[in-house]
Amino acid sequence: MSEEKKTEGQKLEERLSFRRKNAWEKVDEEYIKKAYDFCEDYKSFLNMSKTEREFAANTEKLAVAAGFRKLDDMTASGTRLKPGDKVYFINRKKSAVLAVIGKKPVSEGVNILGAHIDAPRLDLKQNPLYEDTELAFFKTHYYGGIKKYQWLTIPLAIHGIVVKGDGTSVEISIGEDEDDPVFTITDLLPHLAREQMQKKMSEAVTGEGLNVLLGSLPYRDDKVKEKVKLTILDILNKRYGIVEEDFQSAELEIVPAQKFKDVGFDKSMVGGYGQDDRACAYPALRSVLETDAPERTAVCLLTDKEEIGSMGNTGAQSTMLQDFLANIIALTEESYSDLKLRSCLSKSRMLSADVNAAVDPNYENVYEKRNATYLGHGIVLQKYTGARGKYDSSDASAEFVGEIRKLFNDNGIMWQTGELGKVDEGGGGTIAQYAANLGIDVLDCGVAMLSMHSPFEITSKIDIYVTYNAYKVFLNS
Ligand code: MN
Ligand code: MN
């Protein structure tokens, strides 16, 4: 409608009211092509990065290729860092921090993108292998919030590391290549599921029921008691040089075996495992890799253990970020002091790069649609997370939300805001609170998704691309 045909009321409404818009409708063909292209990189990186260890290892590869140097080496040799220098730190092969040194002193604050690279999954128990009814299985212990029934009757892969008796270790990744076998957890046929079907969803499948089917071929020796188990041990020994006791010092993760796929006739969405939070971690990583000589030092923090509370020395509650910043201060400023680190933290800003639940029309009643997020509506700003009365939320200040809102508006970043579901419905947290506790200004800011925490999470290509652009704008602000 042309301007002159609009009524006074329509013009006033346009000026005063806030309307959410579909991001696809606000961009041209070229932008859409760029979004689709970016998601090709995204899918292939995620296909290779199904565990936190794999994500960290692939992060290191990209970082080195982009000219990043190991911070430990710089510290050991006392190499001074200047604006534009790029450094990284891989923490115990499971989490990472990267930085591009800015023009301003680090003690005056840095810009941080913080995402997590672990995802809900099934871990093998420490004594996992057993035989029952002439079938071999692995016992598992689930990690993070899963709906257990979703893990039945789908192809599964095994990824991880086994530390052997002699101290050497071997990496295992099986179930991803075309010729690899896959594994699975069986389910009861409907014909015999009368009792199971009466149970509550939360009780129909138990944690101890998540046993992974491994094999059925008996070892040919009548003197052996558990022949199928022995066949598996024999194969594992021949292939990886491991014995059963080695499982005690192993970290093996069961993840969905499917590769990432485009979803929909229009291929506008991406489907695959572990997009919480790699839908934010990958755009965050790409943004820092592509940042050159920013004003404030640009930092990308990729943490582990978020799905179980950010605990441990690779999680967001550890000192890894502070240690990293302390080392950077020592290599960029005249001298290091605790006061400089504290000054850096309290003047730093962070986008807690994590996903949000998009409204799913199949389950509308759990969302409050005026304050919910939508697939394809751009990056999500979430002022607070938490549950019930905002418990466990760091709740970003109006000032900081205002700052980011202005930054995004000034740079044409399409954004939306939203909460995780209705007030009394449930809730969730991110790493935001742990950074906020250090004095950092933090706002949750990431991609909306459907089927979160499932083996096949759905995101919108435009949201992933907008998020990548938003993160770049932030790191360069
Ligand atoms: Mn998350
Ligand atoms: Mn999660």
Asked if 157 and 175 sit in the same domain, the reply is yes
Asked if 113 and 137 sit in the same domain, the reply is no
Asked if 366 and 420 sit in the same domain, the reply is yes
Count other C-beta atoms under 10 Å from residue 142's C-beta. Answer: 15
Overall size of the chain counted in residues = 477
Ligand 2 center to residue 277 CA distance, Å? Answer: 7
Ligand 1 center to residue 452 CA distance, Å? Answer: 9
- 433 found inside a domain: yes
**Rounded distance between C-alpha atoms, residue 139 and residue 127, angstroms:** 8
- 9 found inside a domain: no
Ligand 2 center to residue 206 CA distance, Å? Answer: 21
Domain boundary among 256, 281, 298: 256
Nearest ligand, CA 278: 1
**Rounded distance between C-alpha atoms, residue 399 and residue 21, angstroms:** 24
The domain that contains 231 carries what CATH number? 2.30.250.10
Asked if 248 and 330 sit in the same domain, the reply is no
Asked if 381 and 459 sit in the same domain, the reply is yes
Q: Mean pLDDT over residues 3-29, rounded?
A: 91
Asked if 290 and 226 sit in the same domain, the reply is no
Q: Mean pLDDT over residues 36-50, rounded?
A: 98
- 5 found inside a domain: no
Which of 321 and 386 is assigned the larger pLDDT?
321
Give the rounded distance of the alpha carbon of 138 from its chain centre.
26
Two tokens, residue 98:
């990267």
Ligand 1 center to residue 197 CA distance, Å? Answer: 31
- pLDDT beyond 70 at 2: no
- pLDDT beyond 90 at 425: no
Q: What is the pLDDT of residue 1?
A: 60
Ligand 2 center to residue 446 CA distance, Å? Answer: 12
Q: What is the pLDDT of residue 428?
A: 85
Q: Mean pLDDT over residues 203-212, rounded?
A: 97
Asked if 283 and 429 sit in the same domain, the reply is yes
- pLDDT beyond 90 at 119: yes
Asked if 400 and 317 sit in the same domain, the reply is yes
- 353 found inside a domain: yes
Q: What is the pLDDT of residue 3?
A: 64
User: CB burial class (10 A; 0-12, 13-18, 19+) of residue 18?
Assistant: exposed
User: CB burial class (10 A; 0-12, 13-18, 19+) of residue 201?
Assistant: exposed
- pLDDT beyond 90 at 131: yes
Query: In the structure, what pLDDT confidence band is assigned to residue 23 with cuts at 50, 70 and 90?
Result: very high
Ligand 1 center to residue 354 CA distance, Å? Answer: 5
Q: What is the pLDDT of residue 388?
A: 83
Nearest ligand, CA 279: 1
- Rounded to the nearest 10°, the torsion over CA 385, 402, 475, 110 is -80
Per the CB < 8 A criterion, the answer to whether 89 and 97 are in contact is yes
Q: Mean pLDDT over residues 258-280, rounded?
A: 98
Q: What is the pLDDT of residue 387?
A: 85
- 2 found inside a domain: no
- Whether the bond between 277 and the residue before it is cis, its omega within 30 degrees of 0, is yes
Q: Mean pLDDT over residues 188-198, rounded?
A: 96
Tell me the H-state helices in 128-193. none
Q: Mean pLDDT over residues 106-125, rounded?
A: 98
Ligand 1 center to residue 373 CA distance, Å? Answer: 15
Nearest ligand, CA 308: 2
Report the candidate in 90, 92, 37 with the shortest Cα–Cα distance to residue 61. Answer: 90
Q: Mean pLDDT over residues 114-127, rounded?
A: 98
Q: Mean pLDDT over residues 430-459, rounded?
A: 97
Asked if 304 and 373 sit in the same domain, the reply is yes
Asked if 156 and 206 sit in the same domain, the reply is yes
Q: What is the pLDDT of residue 158?
A: 98
- 397 found inside a domain: yes
Ligand 1 center to residue 294 CA distance, Å? Answer: 27
Q: Which of 35-49, 382-396, 428-442 has the lowest mean pLDDT?
A: 382-396
- 4 found inside a domain: no
Nearest ligand, CA 117: 1
**Model pLDDT for residues 45-98, shown as the tens digit of each residue:** 999 999 999 999 999 999 999 999 999 999 999 999 999 999 999 999 999 999
Q: Mean pLDDT over residues 306-322, rounded?
A: 97
- 265 found inside a domain: no
Ligand 2 center to residue 15 CA distance, Å? Answer: 38
The domain that contains 73 carries what CATH number? 3.40.630.10
Residue 183: which domain range? 121-256
Domain boundary among 256, 281, 297: 256
Q: What is the pLDDT of residue 68?
A: 98
Count of structural domains within the chain: 2
**Rounded distance between C-alpha atoms, residue 451 and residue 363, angstroms:** 11
Beta strands in 305-378 (DSSP E): 349-352, 356-357
Asked if 125 and 115 sit in the same domain, the reply is no
Report the percent of the chain where pLDDT is more than 90.
94
Domain boundary among 256, 285, 313: 256
Ligand 1 center to residue 375 CA distance, Å? Answer: 16
Asked if 405 and 334 sit in the same domain, the reply is yes
Q: Mean pLDDT over residues 199-204, rounded?
A: 94
Nearest ligand, CA 114: 1
Nearest ligand, CA 277: 1
Q: Mean pLDDT over residues 369-382, rounded?
A: 96
Ligand 2 center to residue 117 CA distance, Å? Answer: 10
Nearest ligand, CA 281: 1
Per the CB < 8 A criterion, the answer to whether 314 and 113 are in contact is no
Q: What is the pLDDT of residue 386?
A: 85
Q: For all residues of the chain together, what is the average pLDDT? A: 96
Rg (CA), the chain: 24
Ligand 1 center to residue 145 CA distance, Å? Answer: 11
